[in-house]
Structure formats: C-alpha cells, structure tokens
Structure 1
Amino acid sequence: MLQNKRFIFFGIIYLVVLTFFLYRLADIQLINTESFSKKGVNLVQESVNQRTQEVMIDDGRGRFVDRNGDPLQKQAEPSLVLFPFLKEAEWPSEDLSRIVGIPGNKLQEVVSDTKEPIVLSSKDGVSLTAAELEKINELEIPGVFGIYQQTKLDETIGEHIIGIVGENAEALRAKYPDRTDLSYKTKIGVTGLEEAFDEFLLPDAETKLLYHVDGDGHPLFGINVKYIADSNPFYPVTVETTIDKEIQTMAEDVLEHQNIEKGGLVLLDIENNEVLAMASKPSLNRSDSKTLSNQMLQPLFPGSIFKTVISAAAIEYGLDDPTRQFNCSLNLHGEADGGQDDGQLTFDRSFAKSCNYTFTTLARELMEKDQHVIEDTASKIGLIDPVGWNGEVFHYENFKQFPDEKTGNIWSDEKDKNVPRAIDQTAIGQKDVKVTPLSIANMMATIARGGQKQQVKIVKNILYKNGTKMYSFTSNSLEGDTITPMAAAKLQKLLRLVVTDSKGTGRRFQTSPMEVSGKSGTAQTGKSNDDDQTLYNKWFAGYFPSDQPKYALVVVEMDTTSAEAGTNAAFYDIVNEMSKIDERKN
C-alpha cells in the first residue's frame, strides 16, 4: 500500500512537471510567439533574424538639425555595401574599382575575409558622390550597393542638448502601451531633447538591406538581397532646433580652451529668446551618471549676480536715491572687520563695484516694506520660475522643451524673512538662493528687451519627412507681472556701468569688440579642494552690444578657486568670436 502511494505521488509530480514544460513549449511556439515575456520579444522575428544578415541604412528614429538645417547628430553618409557571398561568385570588381578608386584585387580581398556585410564610407577612405552612387547601382552587381546610410557625425556637438537614448523594454511598454508595433529593442529618449520629443521621434519603420543564410552562412534563397524601405512620406520627422551649429561648436571650443571642466554657458538670441548655444561641463559620458545632467538647467548659487534682483526692487520702491552714500568699508552685516576698503559709494557705483553692504542694507529696508518683494521681483525679471518653452502641443497640455529644467529657490524657511543675517545672505545670492544658468541668461535678455518676459525656446519646428511642418512653436510670453520699462532702463545703465567704471567688476570687457553690459558673481559653495582651498561658483552674465542688444550670455565655472576661474576669459572670447561671426554674415 505504501509503495502504491509513493508511485501515485511521484506520478503526480511527473505529470505536473510535464504539464509545465508542455505549456511552456506551447507558450513559446503557439501562444505568445509575437510578444514573449515582459519585454514583448517577437520570437518569430528573432528566429528569422538568426538566419538573416543585414545592413541597417536608417533605424527610422527622427533626427535633429540646427536653425540652418545642418545635422547635429546624424548625417546621410554615401557608402558602398559589399555582401560576403561575392567571394563565391564571379563579379566585375574592376568595373566597380574604376568608380570607387580601390583596386579590384583589394575589393576581392575585402569580401574574402568576412562573413558579414561590409560597409565602406569616407572614414574608410571611400569618399563617394551622388553621381558615383548612381553609377555603382547601374552596374547591377548582386551584392554590391551604393547607399546613403544614416551615421553618427564624427564630431558630435550639443550632446547635453540632444541627450541620449537607450534600450529599456519595460519602460518602452509602460510609456507606449498602445504601440504594439514597436520592437522591444526600440530605443527611447532618456535625457534632453531625445526625451522631450521622444514620441515624435519613435521609428515608423527601418530601412535596410538583408538576405537569408543557412547555418554555414551561405545564401538560402540565392543571391537576391532584399531592400526593405520605409514608404511613409511623413516619417521619420526632423526636429529643427534654434541652435546655430557654428556658434555651438565655437562655444564648446572656448570652454575647452579656458579649461572650464565643470560649468558651462548659455547664449540667447535676445529678439526671439532662442538658444543659439548651450554647453555643459563635464562632457557627457554614458558610463558616468554624474555627467548626464545638463548643468545649465540645474539650480546653482548665483552670488552677486542676484544683486540685480535687489537693484530692480530698490528701483521700483524708490530706494535708488542717486545722492545717498553707503559705507562700503563695512562687511555685508554692517561690521568693520577690515576686509573691505571701498569707502563711501553711491547706489550706482555700489552695483559696479559689487558692494555687499549696500545691497544687504537695501534688502533689509525692502523686507520691511514687503516680505515677498525679493521673490516677486525675481519673478518679474524672469529669473526664479521655469523659463523654458511650455504649452499645449497636440494631446500634451503642458509640453516642455526642457523637461530637465529645475525650478529656482530663494527662501527655504519663511522664518528667515525675519532674520537680518539670513536676509543679508539672501541679498548677495547665498544662503538658500539657487537659480539656473538658463534663467540668469533669460533675466539678462528680459532686461535688454526693456522688461518684456518671454519663454526660452530651443526648438522652432517639427518637420515631416517631406519637409512640411508638423508643428511650429510660437514665441510665448512668460506669465506674471513685469518690471516697468523705466526700471529696465535703469538696470541697463547699471549693467553697463559694471564695465565702464574704472573699478567695476567687469572692466576687463572695456576692450571687447562689442560693448558689453553685465554682472559678475562669486558664490561660496561650501566645498574645499584637496589643498583646503575654498571653492566657488564664478559667474559673468550680461548682454551685447549694449546699445542694440542682440545676444544674452551667461558663463559659469563651478567648484573653482577664484585664481583659477576662466569665466571672464570665456565670456570675453565668446563676445570676440560672435563679433567675427556677425561680421562675416554682414
């Protein structure tokens, strides 16, 4: 009896295991063949892929161009494709040689040593024209093709702007549950514009050359190569940015030349409030997560640049009496600690010299009048709130061109508004004050336009494959109150005085080829280097030419000693290079 029970028990176990394996086999071969596992793997397609050799011509994902239509990421590269079955056939290699400029025997060698299709382009010393590609295809040699292949540019620019893509099957399915046509290997945007415009950039179909092989790599169905092409006249789309490729390249070169290893710059076209260039350091490295963030969209301590806000508030509250003198031999708390020796200065010269005591005094007086005055004024000049373009785009109610942009901050604790020393620190851009470089550039552009606030734009249009417009991004005003034109005019004079005053913190720019107006900033970060030297954020922000403003620029170097900072030198170089570019264009 006991033996029978054991037999029945093990029999049941055997049947359960067998049933599981049979179900698993049915699941793989019959039930979920086109969407297996959480990744949604198409098993039928994968089995075909094991017996397929292919050349990807275009993965079908949308691309980015600059304001002039020049590619920023990928380009159509004229290329020669040779399939490996050529080594087993007689083919007119000499005819091909006369077109591509490679000896026939060399072409024969290339295909004799490979089991995969070979793609030769300019990086391999094969530079082809459109006419030559046409001649190659007119030869009608099986296994020989002249194509335009989408390839990455040798020198990529604006990497933090464009962002990165990656494969994540679960994230893909969660984000696009209705797009069952997408392969689990489809890449999605992770950062930057790749993330912001991901739904528009998703591939509709791939373009490729392929043929089928047996287990030994020999053609299964003869030597016919299939051309699989996307026939959709609308996709993939092109995202037309506001970036100027020449200016972006120059800006990145300047940062390298001035050894700015952490920080970056933002250059705006003031008239349209469009980004001409944006560069972030350290350079993007996919294997280092610390480099993925665009520093120009992260809140940073602004230091004395924030005195522009206090000045704007003082002007609007009538505290800018030109005859009033401030004792700038005192420190920010009104103490004579021997660290300052600037004597009595007016409001205007205090701004030019960046006297701390003047602005902490004014900040205390302003807070007595209105405890919201500092944040309200910061908002009026387009500094504290998100400034990147956002609005309704198709089914998106709040589409953002800068999804990674962070909101700035002034007060972390409302109680600090009643603490004199906390007000002092806030007035000079320390304590809890953090704003993004993008918003500082926007503030300078706002002042240069006479107080008119606008959203910052980095994309102008989304274009269909045939060149027609899918969507155009309008120039939008920033919501909320603005400073008066009179206040803006006074701020313009203050920013110019920073450069023209003999002791102004921006006097270096007196020799710039275009007149500069701006403000410097030095902010303590609370960090020290290995030599126990205090590290700062060093800034210069402004606009030029002063009389007819065209460009707003902010440069920041983070976590640097004052002696090593290349901020002013980089700003100077950008102004100089923009002068040359404008001269060439005119």
Structure 2
Amino acid sequence: MNQAIRHTWVVAAALLVLVLGSLTYVQFFEAGRLQANPWNSRNLLQQFSSNRGPILVDGQQIAYSQRSNDQYDYQRVYRDPQLYAPLTGFYSLLNMTGLEQELNPLLTGSSDQLFYDRITQILSGNQPRGASVELTIDPALQKLAYDALGDQKGAIVALNPKTGEILAMVSKPSYDPNAIATHNTNQARQAYEALAQNEANPLFNRAIGGNLYSPGSVFKIIDTAAALESGKYDADSVLDNPAELDLPGTSATLPNYRYGGCAARTKVDFSFALEQSCNTPFASIAMNLGQDAIANEAKKFGFGEPLKVPLTVTPSTFPENLNDAQLAQSSIGQFDVRVTPLQVAMMSAAIANNGVQMKPNLIKTVRAPDLTPVSTFKPEQLRTATSQQTATQIKDWMVNVVDQGIANAAAVPGVKVAGKTGTAELTVGGGNNAWFTGFAPADDPQIAVAIVVENVDVLTGVSLTSPTAKKLFEAVLNK
C-alpha cells in the first residue's frame, strides 16, 4: 500500500515538473517565436491596437496611425505616399517593409531605448505609444528629385558629404502603401501581389537595392584614385588615348566614348580623359595596375561592405577572377560591376570631404511619446577612402569636367561644381543607363548627388542627368 502511494506521488510530482517545465519553456524560450507567428491572432490584435509612432520629415508626418472603426484600434496612413514609399515601406496585416520594419521596436515602443518611458506609461494607466522618428530628408529637395525623374525609371540620392545626412532618396516607379496597409486582408493581398508581379518592380528601392546597376564611366573615379595612390601615375602623366583598344585574348576592341571630344587627341592627361570620359586610357591603366589594385580601391570606397542607414543597403560589387579583357571592361563600369546609387553618391562625397567617407544616415531624431529626445543624429566617420592629396586632385579634375567637359549642363553660375557623367550600355534592348555624380560647391561641399536614369538613349540621358544635378545644387545653395 505504501509503495503504491509512493509511486502515485512520484508520478504526480513528475507530471507537475513536466507541466511547469512546459509552461516555462513556452513563456520564456518560445515566446518570441510564438509572437512572431503570423497565425497568432492575439499578437496581431495587440500590434494593431497600439498607437504606433509617426515617421516625420521636417516636422510633418509622412507615416502615422489614426483611429480605425474596426476590431483593430489603429490604421496606418501614409501622406505623399508615392514620394516616400521607398523609404517608409508599409506596415500591414501581411508584413512590413522599409523603415516600418527597420524601426519597428522604436515605432511600437518596445525598444530597450524606451524602457523607462514604457514603464511610466503602464504605471500611469496610459496606453503604450511608440516613439516618433524624424528623418534627415529635405522635403523640397525630395520633391524636386522626384519630379525631375518624370516618368522615367531610376533613382536619385543626395547627401551632405560632411555629415552623411541623406537629404533626398528617390526611387521610381513608386507605389501607394495605403493600399497595402488596409485592414481588409484580401484587398491588401491583392494590392501587394499586383505590385510584386509588376515587371517595373515598384517595390524595389532602387537607390539602395533591387537589381543594382552598371555604373558606367562614373567608376573612373575609382580608377583615377587607384592610379594616383599606386605611385605609378601623377597629375603630369601622359596617357595613350587610341580610338580603340585591343582587348587581350579576344578579337574584340574597346572603343572610346563617341559623344565627347576624345577623338581630338591620341595622347591625353587625366584631366582631359575625365573631362571627355575617354575609355581607352582608363582601360589601359587598369590592365597596368592589375585587378587587385582596382578591386582594393573600390573596397576602400565601400564596395562589398554591408551598410544600414538604417535601411539595409545591398553591397556594390566589383567582380573577381578577371582576365585582362574583362578587367578593361570593368574599369569603365561595365562587365559585372554593380552598384547602388547610394554607393556612387558616397564615392563623390568621399572626394568632396577630402577622402573621408561619412556614414550615410536617414535618422535625424528619435523622440519618446512625451517628445523627450531618445537619440539625435551624430556624424560618424565610416572610413578613409583615399588620401587628402588624391581627393583634392580628383576634385580639381571633376571641376574641369563641369567647367570645360561633357557635364557642363550641371554648372551653376558663380559656383565651383564638381561632376562626372556615365553611360552604361545595356545588353538587352540597346538602351543605356545614364549617370551623373558630383558635388557643390567644390571648395565647401554642401551636397553630393548620384543620379541614374534607366534605359534611355545617350542624348536623353544627357538631357536628364546633368541638368537635374544643377537643379539639386541650386536648391541647396540658394537656401
């Protein structure tokens, strides 16, 4: 009898331990996974019943929560949606993207940075609220960049080269996140699927991701820095400038740029080669220096490096294991070189800032619900891309590109403007991606830009890129 009682107690104790252990496991170890489960309707109700913090530009809300008349207490609303959708992304019953995703802990109020504020709200009986996040974006510059692209596909990025603040980031085509933020699940899903299946890829933020771009001749900034840093070249170097360059190991040739003045000289200096964007001198330089020298210089400017602004930026890439013919093509930003417009803007910004590359950032201020600052923007040095001497020399040559070269449409009267154009040939359809990158004023830089317009002919590209840069420069300098 006593033995039977003991066995019963042992079984009861074991069951109690099992139940307590299971509860402990679920509450502490599985809580995160269960909360993240899309089938967890309680968690979904809790999320959409919270007053999510706004995202602001220049004090104006561009994403905010308003009361809704359904089972969810709040509805996310986006103002000027096409203008800002590539930045904000969307917050919906399906998922979240963009800054809504990257800043989710702050916007919901669950971030450790808001711990004491959250406790205060709970103790006072108030409903928890999220933090507000103000961006570094200049709304007038953002609108100007958006309108400048018109109906063309492409992207524009503008930075403060001294601080890294992102002043404008535009990607086209864009979309309306309000259609996905609806509480009608079927409508939200239909809106999302229509965008996801759209061949124009409106859900891509082309400025920092998507399929990336061949940079064309804006990559010659990297070639020039590598040449000067190698010690094999200097400002007085004389470069061969044939109309065509034989590509080693092939029967093909690399032609010079046809639309500038390259044909006028068979021997050139760096200034003329950049002014007219001559291909053959830079291809020869790359083959002379070798793949490692060009690849290492690209890495110094940020190629291949992960980056969050806090949006996740796809790393730009310079290809590996190249033969000489492929290296020659890569040196003019073709073959398998791929970049984001942000990376190209960072290249110019580093030259503008005496070789120092600042970390790009979209976040100006984070404030608790009582408007107490939680964090404010502080400039952060990312890396030294090149020496001050090299940066100064390239800066002077980029000024010549605008003053007396093919980027003269970017000139601003009375201001020293530095620039570089690029034309990347597409293998499909015969069009080009047109580029401009540069900064102003060259002697006291306030803005660095990168502009890319997709799949246009050369003349259309020229008419869109450099003149747009001029408008952006003027907008900042005339403030």
Provide TM-score, normalisation by structure 1: 0.61
One-letter amino acid matched to 2:402: V
Does residue 575 (structure 1) correspond to residue 455 (structure 2)? The answer is no
Alignment of 1:444-459 (within 5 A): 444-459=348-363
**Deviation sequence 1:376-398 (CA, Å, 0-9, x none):** 11122344523444xxxxxxxxx
Structure 1 residue 249: Cα displacement:
1.8
One-letter amino acid matched to 2:294: I
Percent identity over the alignment is 26
Q: Match for 2:293 among 373, 393, 398?
A: 373
Does residue 488 (structure 1) correspond to residue 391 (structure 2)? The answer is yes
Which of the pair is proportionally richer in helix?
Answer: 2
Q: Match for 1:330 among 222, 243, 268?
A: 243
Q: Secondary structure at the match of 2:225?
A: helix
What is the match of residue 62 of structure 1?
A: 53
Greater C-alpha Rg: 1
Alignment of 1:153-232 (within 5 A): 153=79, 157-168=83-94, 188-189=95-96, 191-202=97-108, 232=126
What is the match of residue 347 of structure 1?
A: 270
**Deviation sequence 1:68-89 (CA, Å, 0-9, x none):** 3222234889xxx9xxxxxxxx
Distance 1:303 1:231, change over 3 A: farther
Distance 1:304 1:516, change over 3 A: same
Structure 1 residue 421: Cα displacement:
0.6
What is the match of residue 41 of structure 2?
A: 41
Q: Secondary structure at the match of 1:372?
A: helix
What is the match of residue 17 of structure 1?
A: none
Alignment of 1:88-167 (within 5 A): 152-153=78-79, 157-167=83-93
In structure 1, C-alpha distance between the alignment counterparts of 2:444 and 2:82, rounded to whole Å: 33
One-letter amino acid matched to 2:401: V
Root-mean-square deviation (CA, aligned residues, Å) is 3.3
One-letter amino acid matched to 1:297: I
One-letter amino acid matched to 1:273: G
Does residue 469 (structure 1) correspond to residue 469 (structure 2)? The answer is no
Does residue 241 (structure 1) correspond to residue 135 (structure 2)? The answer is yes
Structure 1 residue 440: Cα displacement:
0.7
Structure 1 residue 310: Cα displacement:
0.7
Does residue 540 (structure 1) correspond to residue 436 (structure 2)? The answer is yes
Gaps of 5+ in 2: 1-34, 111-123, 177-191, 248-252
Higher relative contact order (CA 8 A, sep 6+): 2
Divergent runs of 4+, >6 A: 336-340
What is the match of residue 450 of structure 2?
A: 554
> Is contact 2:83-2:174 (8 Å) kept?
no
What is the match of residue 406 of structure 1?
A: 314
Distance 1:425 1:201, change over 3 A: same
In structure 2, C-alpha distance between the alignment counterparts of 1:490 and 1:507, rounded to whole Å: 19
In structure 1, C-alpha distance between the alignment counterparts of 2:126 and 2:375, rounded to whole Å: 18
Structure 1 residue 359: Cα displacement:
0.5
Q: Match for 2:283 among 344, 347, 360?
A: 360
Structure 1 residue 523: Cα displacement:
0.8
Q: Secondary structure at the match of 1:72?
A: strand
What is the match of residue 506 of structure 1?
A: 407
One-letter amino acid matched to 2:149: L
Question: What is the aligned residue count?
Answer: 394
Structure 1 residue 563: Cα displacement:
3.1
Does residue 294 (structure 1) correspond to residue 205 (structure 2)? The answer is yes
> Is contact 1:302-1:429 (8 Å) kept?
yes
Provide TM-score, normalisation by structure 2: 0.74
> Is contact 1:72-1:156 (8 Å) kept?
no
In structure 1, C-alpha distance between the alignment counterparts of 2:279 and 2:436, rounded to whole Å: 17
**Deviation sequence 1:135-178 (CA, Å, 0-9, x none):** xxxxxxxxxxxxx998543665311011112214xxxxxxxxxx
Q: Secondary structure at the match of 1:564?
A: helix
Q: Secondary structure at the match of 2:459?
A: coil
Structure 1 residue 341: Cα displacement:
2.2
In structure 2, C-alpha distance between the alignment counterparts of 1:203 and 1:384, rounded to whole Å: 34
> Is contact 1:75-1:153 (8 Å) kept?
no
> Is contact 2:440-2:447 (8 Å) kept?
yes
**Deviation sequence 1:37-69 (CA, Å, 0-9, x none):** 9723359x99xxxxxxxxx9x961221012x32
